[in-house]
Amino acid sequence: VTVSVLYWPAVARVAPSLRKRACCRPTATSTRNAFVFAAMTVALRAVGLVTLFVAVVVALPQRHECVHDAVRRLPGYGANAERINVSYAFDTSATTRSFAAQQSSSFQSLRIQVFFDQGDCSAGTCGHCTAVGDTVPTYESAGATTTCQTDDVLTTEKRAYIVDRLMPAAKDFFQRALNVARVSGNLVVSGSSTCGQSPGTAIPASHQSTGVADADFVAYVTAVPKADRSSATVAWAAACRRDSADRPLVAHVNFIPAKLTNAVNLTSVDQANDEATAVHEIAHALGFSAPFFGDRGHLALDGTTMVPSGGTTTATSSTLGKSVTYLTSPRVVREARAYFGCDTLIGGEIEDQGGSGTAGSHWEKRIFNDDSMSGISTGVLSYHSRLTLAFFEDTGHYTANYDAADTRMAWGKGKGCAFAENKCDTLGTNDDNSEFCFDTNTQNTYCTFDRLARGYCGVGDYGQALPSHQQYFSGAPSIGGAVYHSDYCPTVLPYGNRICIDPTTSDSQDVYGNTFSATSRCFDSNLLQSGRSTGSTRRETRCFVPECDGVRLRILVKGVAVTCPADGSAGTADLSALNGQYSGSITCPQSSVFGCAAGVTPPPTSGGGTSPTPAATPSPPAGPGTPPSTPTPQTAPTPAPNADLVPTPAPPSLPLSCADRVSCARTAMAMLPQCRGAARAIADCFGTDCDTQMENYLRAAGVYSNCTSNAAQTAYQGACIEGRAGVADLCYLALSPAASVGVWGPALFVCLAAALLAVGVVPL
């Protein structure tokens, strides 16, 4: 069967964790279809019933655009928010603000009060779905409504997730991070009866008369779906009330219930990301938004004068080959220069890609990759930075407690003007020191820059020439990073099921030495239990627990410590302590990556298999490595820098290890109930001493001798992995005759038909 497959950019060999910040997460449909296609490809090839060739791959455009800028333009939101009169502890009018008081006790911790859905469901103004078939407003335009579907219903778990976890986390962060001139008495939310006017969410009558006690900022939270179910929006927020000096006072925050899939699982990594999304959106509501960048004035560095204009600068960068907009208010400049170690940096670069939802209202992804206020989140975790707090302080509305900022963000930190001001292909590639990768081989695996996960170099084909100043692959003008917000610079993207710090991650076969825990980190390694082989020569990675013994790095493999070079330099770990249980190697980075230094000692329990004390949070690596060659200039037409191009990734490849095949089969069981019988048989097949069975089959096929050296494995890779005639016979060896292909083969064809419909397969 030869088919042409239409599938989404989210498809990968193992679906990656690629989440767009706040409004930007892959849709459930695209991820499900990706899994279906990958699982069925594995299933069909594994049993030798059908050979599936992907002849044509067309990427369907899936625009994960944040909606903050769209919301702030609606009546009653953002720069259109109603102005109300509020009394403060001292004079804060636009002309006579006592800015010196910001440095005194007059500015106190920001008090935030949160109220969930104040609408009347019986009157049709409910701000959440109570049942399938309900009609609720979307707040996207005047009178816009949508009919609730199953995933839209606000279950008890989803409500608790918002009310008890996400909003408290955001509230706690800003109450620690920002100080304000507090409201005197109650905050009376005067004006219209709604927060926003499209139609907006209801404001209780008591809030408009008596007011809200102990509040400097009020958030009204709803949980309605977007009318466009293919949207990747997770949440949005915008201010709906402000004072005469444009300080935001009241906001509408909305979460999309269908995207809160972690409400039931409550995994720590996903919750951390959802909490970061809540913080991101509240930051927009508090004023981190394009209309407030530069045209509202900023506070002078000495805290005594309000500069009435300025705060942004646009200049042409000869090194980047484009026009760049910077935030140039004084504290932002101070923090940006300190972070990169560049005393001449103009300011904090603003994102110029991603369309109206992202461009202009976020930090530039290329150099602020892990900042929670970048427009798209593609890593394992994101961090609330001093740079963002500096912006809030520059507005004159707040002072910042910089101790609340997360110091773990290391992307580009301390790497000087070269990193902040130059193209990514001049900064190093494919090594421990580089934030960027330039590898088009999708079989290779890499560690993410922060070493929190195993991943792959995210590269895609955009189908047309990229802007000439953003072409990094010689002779391939249409190839670029899969996350185009980073100026098409390719970065390592994590696999969703290979997160080292996620304790819920596991290997289907425990043969790789991996440990998934909060203290684990990623290492370049091809470790494997002795006597086993994946038949692969690709670059590989593993998750181990690092610890420091003075300047020396030690790595725990299933609780057994192996040692790196004594002087803390990079090198290869000594695996003798493993007593031959594992073959392969582990590459040691410089121990300073994990904070190892003289006087740092390992815990007494290390090496005994009990929970070790981890090494310190990784500090930024040393300077950049060798840059790739400069790409050959292209003459192909160049699209505009903000063109909404979507990369066409390589088609999903068959997993190379038995363990990964079992994982894919189990995914098929979970995703396609009608395929569980066939998928379970496949899982049983590959889960039954798979490596031994594979070896027996290869010996019988007469090709085993071709698979015993690295050079031969490369030449005979297909045979070494699949066997010359496929692995149907291998499955027959592993399964009893009653469970052979003849019994469950027909069911697999039913699954094939369902899968083809699910992913949009079109026969040639």
Please state, rounded to an integer, the average pLDDT across all residues of the chain.
Answer: 75
Any idea which of 57-71, 94-108, 156-170 has the lowest mean pLDDT?
57-71
Whether the CB-CB separation of 377 and 14 falls below 8 Å is answered with no
Residue 535, pLDDT score: 72
Is 98 a residue whose pLDDT tops 90? Answer: no
Average pLDDT of the residues in 730-742: 36
User: What token pair was written down for 588?
Assistant: 């040691």
Q: What is the mean pLDDT of residues 190-209?
A: 94
Quick check: 70 pLDDT over 50? yes
pLDDT value for 39 = 41
Average pLDDT in the 292-306 region? 79
Answer yes or no: are the C-beta atoms of 536 and 444 closer than 8 Å.
Answer: no
> Is residue 721 over pLDDT 60?
no
Q: pLDDT value at position 698?
A: 56
Q: Average the pLDDT over each of 170-174, 666-670, 745-749 and give the range with the smallest value.
A: 745-749
Residue with tokens 């997993």: 655
Could you say which DSSP state residue 102 is in?
G
pLDDT at 756: 39
The mean pLDDT of 63-80, rounded to a whole number, is 75
The answer on pLDDT for 479 being more than 80 is yes
Does the pLDDT of residue 325 top 80, yes or no?
Answer: yes
Q: Which of 140, 275, 281, 421 is catalytic?
A: 281
Which residues 6+ apart lie within 8 Å of 283 measured at CB? 174, 372, 373, 388
* Closest C-alpha among 351, 525, 340, 522 to residue 427: 340
Pairwise pLDDT comparison (432 vs 130), residue with the higher score: 130
> Strand (E) positions, 363-467?
398-400, 446-447, 453-457, 459-461
**Sorting pLDDT into bands at 50, 70 and 90, what band is 89?**
confident
Flag the least confident range among 254-258, 547-551, 731-735: 731-735
pLDDT band (50, 70, 90) for residue 728: very low
User: Mean of the pLDDT values across residues 409-437?
Assistant: 88
Q: pLDDT value at position 757? A: 40
Residue 57 phi, psi dihedral angles, 5° rounding: -120, 120
Q: Output the pTM of the full model.
A: 0.74
Q: Which pLDDT does position 688 carry in this prediction? A: 47
- Residue 295's pLDDT is 67
Please tell me the least confidently modeled range out of 7-21, 76-90, 110-124, 298-312.
7-21
pLDDT(351) > 80:
yes
Is residue 547 flagged as an active site residue?
no
HEC string for 261-328: CHHHHCCHHHHHHHHHHHHHHHHHHHCCCHHHCCCCCEECCCCCCEECCCCEEEEEECCCCEEEEEEC
Strands 446-447 and 453-457, bridge-based pairing: antiparallel
Per residue in 247-295, pLDDT (tens digit) is 999 999 999 999 999 999 899 999 999 999 999 999 999 999 988 886 6
Is it the case that residue 14 has pLDDT exceeding 50? no
Annotation-wise, does 280 bind a ligand?
Answer: yes
185 has a pLDDT exceeding 50: yes
Whether the per-residue pLDDT at 6 is higher than 80: the answer is no
Among the ranges given (175-189, 338-352, 505-519), the one the predictor scored with the smallest mean pLDDT: 505-519
Question: Which domains are present in the chain?
Answer: 68-292 (3.10.170.20), 298-416 (3.90.132.10), 425-650 (2.30.34.10)
Mean per-residue pLDDT for 234-239? 93
Is residue 469 a known part of a binding site?
no
Q: What share of the chain is helix, strand, coil (3-state, %, to 5)?
A: 30, 20, 50
Distance CA 622, CA 58 (A): 40
CA proximity to 377, closest of 256, 232, 243: 232
Where residue 217 falls among pLDDT bands split at 50, 70, 90? Answer: very high
Lowest mean pLDDT among 149-158, 651-660, 662-671: 651-660
Arithmetic mean of pLDDT, 4-8:
26
% of the chain at pLDDT higher than 70:
67
384 is in an annotated binding site: no
Reported confidence tier of residue 608, pLDDT bands at 50, 70, 90 = very low
Q: What pLDDT is attached to residue 506?
A: 87
Query: What is residue 308's predicted lDDT score, i.e. its pLDDT?
Result: 79
- Mean pLDDT of all residues in 181-192: 96
Task: Report the pLDDT averaged over residues 618-647.
Answer: 30
pLDDT of residue 510: 87
Task: Compare 57 and 520 and report the one with higher pLDDT.
Answer: 520
Whole-number pLDDT of residue 671: 52
The confidence band for 170, taking pLDDT boundaries of 50, 70 and 90, is very high
Residue 103: per-residue pLDDT: 56
Burial class (CB in 10 A: 0-12, 13-18, 19+), 637: exposed
